[in-house]
Chain A
Amino acid sequence: MRPEIEEYHYDWLMGNTLKASAILPLGTKKETELAYRYVPYYKNVVKSFIDAGDPGVQTLVMLAKYYENILTAKARGKKIAATTFCNSPVILYAMDIVPVTFEILTAVGAMVWKRGMFDYMDFCCEVGMPETSCSSQRGALGAVLAGLCEQIDMIICDTPGVCDTNANAFAFASAYMDKPFFQLNYPSSIGDNRSQQYHIDDYKEMIKFAEQHSGNKLDYDRLAQVLAEVDKQDAMIADLEDMLMLKPTPVPPLFNLALYAGRFCFSGHPQYTTLLESMVASAKQNAEAGISGLKNREEKLRVFMCYIDHYTVDVNFYNYLEERGIVHVGSILTRNFRDNTPYAKEMPGSTYGVDTSTPEAMLDTIAQMNARLPMVRSIRGPYDKKGMWLEESLVCAKMYQADCLIYNGTPGCRNTWGMVKPFARDIEKHGYPCHIMYDDAFDDRVESWEATRERLDEFFKIRGLL
């Protein structure tokens, strides 16, 4: 790692950058415009969020708050748990543990910095992780391994057998830093009694682990409060999902990112509720006016991102969708599979409900909710089996009236690169044009954004979509 990079405490640097951007809109428009001069490389990102109105500003506030929690954790006597996006932070908030979600932090860094997270990603390779391992962990993890972040106290992941590359990064971090490690583990099937029971048994073990290493006993009254907040949030997510189905959809592309980033950062926490309230209000306003959520108000195409989005510098991908008049009807990360969502009704056994009546009911709720998070729900088994990726993608494509599907991931996504070719072929057989992107969602060095954009344009043109 370059010595000058090592000079900066990464969490402090990023936390303060986000804190500054969160207060930027508090000034007058002229003041905000003037302030952009002083952040030439960050300007495009912060401008994109501020231009998205209050929901965009609330997203910046939420991310700043997320970092503030991390930076102040030790002073507040709290333990920090490194975890992954598909492991809900709900239980950690209920147990007063501060989550550090590597993929979120990598995405934020990749969008905010002109150089992206390259230096930190490469540091992971310097200390031994293969360069073929997933960039989504390698970014934030590199800063942690370099000792440039707040000290991690424990590591919890839930991806073994769903995304081995992900699980491997957390296992490596545990061995490298000699930190306590727990892996939640999912069977290849979902919805059957045997799998449901496995989810609960495994989750109980995870709680024991978290209790042991945080010194905090799980307080069921506190868990009930957090789950009540989840319930409230799920209702608003369902509203947004409903509005995504409208044609034209009143939901702007950037809201998709905010929706799942919020869930990964602050599920069950009032901070996410505030963001959702803002997004619902903004989208409802558009819906009542019968207008598209796109800035130019003209919806030309509806795209379903069947895996993840693209997160490199300047939120280029979302701005590209805006420029081309493309509606983003969600990705694998958007959906939560709560039992009140319309798409979930098409897939029996795929959902979770919220029941806070007894401690056992709460444990069941949280274990089944966790098992329905993106990727661990539908990438766990063969893609063409019941409730898995193909069924989910087709249900969503139909319900959200998608014109085409696009696969995007990282070269580390071996869980999907292992079968995305036959998957795409099956999708095409159902009448949906399907494009496979060969870039890295977090690392523009694999394929430049300019090349990615050209390939997207080529796909839309050749398939007669735009």
Chain B
Amino acid sequence: MTVFHDAATRVECDSIARWKKDGKPVVGYTCSYTPAEIFYAVDILPVRLRGIETDGMEVGDSYFGPFICSFPKCILQLAGKGRFSFLDGAIITPGCDGMRRLDECWRKAGEDFEGIVPDYFYYFDVPHKSENHGMAWYIEEINQLIKSVEDHFNVNITNEKLQAAIREFNKGRRLLNEIERLRCEKDVVVSGTDVFAAAVAGTVMPRDEYTAELKKWVSALKKRKTSLSEGKHRVMLVGSISDEIDLFELIENTQKALIVGENLCFGIRYEGNEIAEDGDPIEALAGHYLGSSVCPRMYGKYKERLAMLKERIGQSRAEGVIMQNIRFCDLHGAENALFERDLEAMGIPCLRVEREYGPHIDIGRMKLRINAFLERIEGRKKANKGDGDET
């Protein structure tokens, strides 16, 4: 577990340092719609860019305007401070308005801070629909990305190499799914914090090393007998992008709750489906990364996302859902409101909370809200017991 926590809580974790020591390139990417397998196929380490370990915002605020979510600002802050100096490349994706502007802000900051823009800096144009021409556009984008990576890094990305990378990534996906099943048991033997750390680690660690570590950990988990869910409320955490282990800790350190599932941009939601290992690997990657459509940037798919959330709530036996959105993240802010309306109508308690990403300046307020919510669940549980209802 230590290796996962190291990878999840440090920008330049040990795995990245070792990879660099071997003289191999690292490429950062900003969005879950980027097929990381493309890079791993040719021994380039794909690293999901994060905003952890920021301790100020003077760089982020100098380029981004005031009404922008703190997540891309934190990434820019780290870039401006040279914390991404290990990157040989970066892929920017129009995940949302804030994230896509990282392209200009990072490049423009590079005019003021020498050497902060990686030599390879690429804009990967992901469409907002996955049907027909949307999928065709995305496939073409993948082909162009491959050509660009081949030209810049002097590599040859073949179908065979892509299929091998897909197979390696799938091993991790299967193992994460095994953990998900453990979280659905009546007695849960693993904390949400640890699972999330493992999931985040998968976005930065070399995949074979990750698979090996994950295999060992899953094997150990299966032998665990001690229930962590006993006497605690089972909750789900959903909403805006988060790679913050401390947000999970904040909830679980109340000693009243266990996170049994999450629906976040980092985390297991993208690992639910394996990618086809035979056939055209590019089509398989496109079908997985774009076709899943689990993010509110894919407008008009609310019903599908609600159905998926309901299914996960049912499987994980969650008693309540904590919905968070980073300020200025309207996509999740608005969707959380719809989720709250529809889930509460089904009798599932929800907490909707707006917050800042990065240094937890509002930790006290968050604690207060979460504790009050857990008390609400407790009260509801007691009331139901009084009525003879065990649900």
**A, B assembled together:** yes
Question: Contacting B63 at CB < 8 Å: which of A169, A205, A381, A422?
Answer: A422
Listed by A's residue number, 29 A-B pairs whose Cβ atoms lie within 8 Å are A128-B340, A128-B341, A130-B354, A132-B67, A157-B299, A160-B299, A161-B94, A161-B100, A161-B128, A165-B330, A167-B128, A168-B331, A171-B302, A181-B299, A181-B300, A183-B299, A187-B127, A205-B132, A382-B123, A384-B104, A413-B67, A414-B97, A414-B328, A417-B65, A418-B65, A418-B100, A418-B101, A419-B108, A421-B62
A198 touches B133 (CB 8 A): yes
Residues of chain A in range 169-199 having any CB-CB distance to chain B below 8 Å: 169-172, 174-176, 181-183, 185, 187-189, 194, 197-198
Is A412 part of the binding interface, using a Cβ–Cβ cutoff of 8 Å?
A: yes
Is B35 part of the binding interface, using a Cβ–Cβ cutoff of 8 Å?
A: no
Is B174 part of the binding interface, using a Cβ–Cβ cutoff of 8 Å?
A: no
Is A163 part of the binding interface, using a Cβ–Cβ cutoff of 8 Å?
A: yes
A188 touches B331 (CB 8 A): no
What are the 5 A-B residue pairs with the smallest beta carbon separation, nearest first? A128-B337, A418-B101, A417-B65, A130-B333, A160-B128
Q: Mark B128-170, 1 if CB is under 8 A from A, else 0.
A: 1101111001001000000000000000000000000000000
**Which residue of chain B lies nearest to A185 when distances are taken between CB atoms in the complex?**
B128
Residues of chain A in range 63-121 having any CB-CB distance to chain B below 8 Å: none
Measured between C-beta atoms, what is the minimum distance from A386 to chain B in Å?
Answer: 13
B134 surroundings in chain A (CB, below 8 A)? 185
B125 touches A188 (CB 8 A): yes
A185 touches B338 (CB 8 A): no
A164 touches B330 (CB 8 A): yes
* Most chain A C-beta atoms within 10 Å of own C-beta, residue among B125, B132, B297, B299: B299
Question: Contacting B98 at CB < 8 Å: which of A170, A384, A414?
Answer: A414
Q: Mark B307-347, 1 if CB is under 8 A from A, else 0.
A: 00000000000000000010111110111111011000000
Measured between C-beta atoms, what is the minimum distance from A58 to chain B in Å?
Answer: 36
A201 surroundings in chain B (CB, below 8 A)? 132-133
A415 touches B128 (CB 8 A): no
A174 and B292 CA atoms in complex are apart in Å by 21
A160 touches B297 (CB 8 A): yes
B64 touches A188 (CB 8 A): no
Q: Mark A394-420, 1 if CB is under 8 A from B, else 0.
A: 000000000000000001111111111
Is B96 part of the binding interface, using a Cβ–Cβ cutoff of 8 Å?
A: yes
B330 touches A422 (CB 8 A): no
**Which residue of chain B lies nearest to A129 when distances are taken between CB atoms in the complex?**
B334
A182 surroundings in chain B (CB, below 8 A)? 300
Is A459 part of the binding interface, using a Cβ–Cβ cutoff of 8 Å?
A: no
A436 and B126 CA atoms in complex are apart in Å by 30
* Most chain B C-beta atoms within 10 Å of own C-beta, residue among A170, A417, A420: A417
B334 touches A418 (CB 8 A): no
**Which residue of chain A lies nearest to B298 when distances are taken between CB atoms in the complex?**
A160
Is B296 part of the binding interface, using a Cβ–Cβ cutoff of 8 Å?
A: yes
Is B103 part of the binding interface, using a Cβ–Cβ cutoff of 8 Å?
A: yes
A161 and B97 CA atoms in complex are apart in Å by 7
A130 surroundings in chain B (CB, below 8 A)? 325, 329-330, 333-334, 354
Measured between C-beta atoms, what is the minimum distance from B158 to chain A in Å?
Answer: 25
Residues of chain B in range 84-110 having any CB-CB distance to chain A below 8 Å: 94, 96-98, 100-101, 103-105, 108
Question: Contacting B337 at CB < 8 Å: which of A129, A167, A170, A171?
Answer: A129
* Most chain A C-beta atoms within 10 Å of own C-beta, residue among B65, B123, B132: B65
Is B68 part of the binding interface, using a Cβ–Cβ cutoff of 8 Å?
A: yes
Is A383 part of the binding interface, using a Cβ–Cβ cutoff of 8 Å?
A: yes
* Most chain A C-beta atoms within 10 Å of own C-beta, residue among B68, B128, B134: B128
Is B66 part of the binding interface, using a Cβ–Cβ cutoff of 8 Å?
A: yes
Q: Mark B220-239, 1 if CB is under 8 A from A, else 0.
A: 00000000000000000000
Is A447 part of the binding interface, using a Cβ–Cβ cutoff of 8 Å?
A: no
B297 touches A164 (CB 8 A): yes
* Most chain A C-beta atoms within 10 Å of own C-beta, residue among B72, B108, B300, B327: B300
Is A136 part of the binding interface, using a Cβ–Cβ cutoff of 8 Å?
A: no
B123 surroundings in chain A (CB, below 8 A)? 188, 381-382
**Which residue of chain A lies nearest to B301 when distances are taken between CB atoms in the complex?**
A171
A239 and B327 CA atoms in complex are apart in Å by 45
A422 touches B104 (CB 8 A): yes
* Most chain B C-beta atoms within 10 Å of own C-beta, residue among A129, A381, A412, A418: A418
A421 and B73 CA atoms in complex are apart in Å by 13
A169 and B103 CA atoms in complex are apart in Å by 25
Measured between C-beta atoms, what is the minimum distance from B353 to chain A in Å?
Answer: 12
A161 surroundings in chain B (CB, below 8 A)? 94, 100, 127-128
A169 surroundings in chain B (CB, below 8 A)? 334
A421 touches B64 (CB 8 A): yes
**Which residue of chain A lies nearest to B66 when distances are taken between CB atoms in the complex?**
A417
Measured between C-beta atoms, what is the minimum distance from A195 to chain B in Å?
Answer: 9
Question: Contacting B104 at CB < 8 Å: which of A132, A174, A187, A383?
Answer: A383
A168 touches B334 (CB 8 A): yes
Question: Contacting B137 at CB < 8 Å: which of A165, A174, A198?
Answer: A198
Measured between C-beta atoms, what is the minimum distance from A414 to chain B in Å?
Answer: 4
B104 touches A382 (CB 8 A): yes
B140 touches A419 (CB 8 A): no
B333 surroundings in chain A (CB, below 8 A)? 129-130, 132-133
A127 surroundings in chain B (CB, below 8 A)? 337
Q: Mark B272-315, 1 if CB is under 8 A from A, else 0.
A: 00000000000000000000000011011011000000000000
A202 and B134 CA atoms in complex are apart in Å by 8
B300 surroundings in chain A (CB, below 8 A)? 171, 174, 181-183
**Which residue of chain A lies nearest to B337 when distances are taken between CB atoms in the complex?**
A128
Question: Contacting B105 at CB < 8 Å: which of A129, A163, A413, A422?
Answer: A422
**Which residue of chain B lies nearest to A426 when distances are taken between CB atoms in the complex?**
B108
A383 and B98 CA atoms in complex are apart in Å by 13
B105 touches A418 (CB 8 A): yes
Measured between C-beta atoms, what is the minimum distance from A200 to chain B in Å?
Answer: 9
* Most chain B C-beta atoms within 10 Å of own C-beta, residue among A130, A205, A411, A416: A130
B335 surroundings in chain A (CB, below 8 A)? 172
A170 and B42 CA atoms in complex are apart in Å by 42
Measured between C-beta atoms, what is the minimum distance from B336 to chain A in Å?
Answer: 8
**Which residue of chain A lies nearest to B61 when distances are taken between CB atoms in the complex?**
A421
A163 and B94 CA atoms in complex are apart in Å by 11
A183 surroundings in chain B (CB, below 8 A)? 128-129, 299-300
A160 and B129 CA atoms in complex are apart in Å by 9
A194 and B94 CA atoms in complex are apart in Å by 18
A164 touches B97 (CB 8 A): yes
B336 surroundings in chain A (CB, below 8 A)? 128
* Most chain B C-beta atoms within 10 Å of own C-beta, residue among A163, A168, A205, A438: A168
A451 and B374 CA atoms in complex are apart in Å by 44
Measured between C-beta atoms, what is the minimum distance from A451 to chain B in Å?
Answer: 16
B125 touches A189 (CB 8 A): yes
A383 surroundings in chain B (CB, below 8 A)? 104
**Which residue of chain B lies nearest to A204 when distances are taken between CB atoms in the complex?**
B133
Question: Contacting B299 at CB < 8 Å: which of A168, A384, A413?
Answer: A168
B338 surroundings in chain A (CB, below 8 A)? 128, 172, 175-176
A347 and B250 CA atoms in complex are apart in Å by 53
A167 touches B104 (CB 8 A): no
A436 and B190 CA atoms in complex are apart in Å by 51
A198 and B299 CA atoms in complex are apart in Å by 18
B132 surroundings in chain A (CB, below 8 A)? 201, 205
Q: Mark B34-73, 1 if CB is under 8 A from A, else 0.
A: 0000000000000000000000000000111111110010
**Which residue of chain B lies nearest to A164 when distances are taken between CB atoms in the complex?**
B97
**Which residue of chain B lies nearest to A162 when distances are taken between CB atoms in the complex?**
B97
